Amino acid sequence: MIGQLYIEGDLRVGGVVEGEVEVTGDVEIDDMAKVKASLAGRDVSIRGQVNGAVTARKRLVVARSGTLVGDVRVARLVIQDGASFSGKVSMGAAAEAPAKKAEVEPVAAAAEPQAIAELPAPSAPAPPAEARSDGKGKSTPAAVVRPKSSPGKGTQPKGKPKRR
C-alpha cells in the first residue's frame, strides 16, 4: 500500500506500507511487514521493520524482532531486548497531556520544531512582480506558488542543491 491511510479502528500490517498511517485504535506491525511511513495510533506494536516517525498516544512496544528507525513521541515506551531502535524519543507529560484532547494536538506539537524552521516569519512581503524581475531564484512557477511560506526558503532549496 502506498499513500495516506486514516482508519477509525485498529490496524494490522503484514505487508509493505509506504506513506502515512493514522489510526484511532491500535496499530500492529507484524514480523514480515516493512513500513516506510509515519505511524500514529493509540497502542503501537512493532514486530517488523518500520522507517518513519511514530506517535503512540498510549504505548509503543518494539518487540525483539522489531526494527524502528525514526523519531518517536509516546506516552509509554517498551523496547524489548534484541529490538533495534534509532531515533529521538519524546515522552512524559508533554506527550501525554495533549493526547487526551485530540490527535491533532500531538501532531502539531511534534511538528512544532519543524514548523518553526520551515516558516520563518515572512519578513518582507515580496511582491510577485519583484520576484519575477529579480530572476535570482530562477522564478519558476513553483517559486511564485510558494511565496506565502517564505520567499527566502523558496529560493534556497533551488540554489543550494547545486553547491557541490
Partner 1 sequence: METQEAVAESTPVETSGQSDSKRDGLKKFTLGPHDSLEGKLTYDGHMTVDGGHAEGEFRVGGNIEIGNGTVVKALLEGSNVTIKGEVEGKLTARDKLTLGKSAKMNGDVQVRRLQIEDGASLNGYVRMGDFEQQAGS
- In the bound state with partner 1, the residue whose beta carbon lies nearer, of 109 and 131, is 109
Nearer of residues 55 and 155 to partner 1, judged by Cβ: 55
Distance CA 48, CA 14 (A): 9
What does residue 131 show for φ and ψ, rounded to 5 degrees? -55, -35
| Residues from 80 through 99 that contact partner 1 (CB under 8 A) | 80-92
End-to-end CA distance of the chain: 36
Give the count of beta carbons closer than 10 Å to the beta carbon of residue 131: 18
Among 1, 7, 78, 111, binds partner 1 (CB under 8 A): 78
Q: Number of C-alpha atoms within 13 angstroms, CB side, residue 152?
A: 8
Q: By C-beta, is 92 or 157 nearer to partner 1? A: 92
Q: Count the site residues for partner 1 by CB under 8 A.
A: 18
Instruction: Write out the residues near partner 1 by the rule CB under 8 A.
Output: 59, 76-92
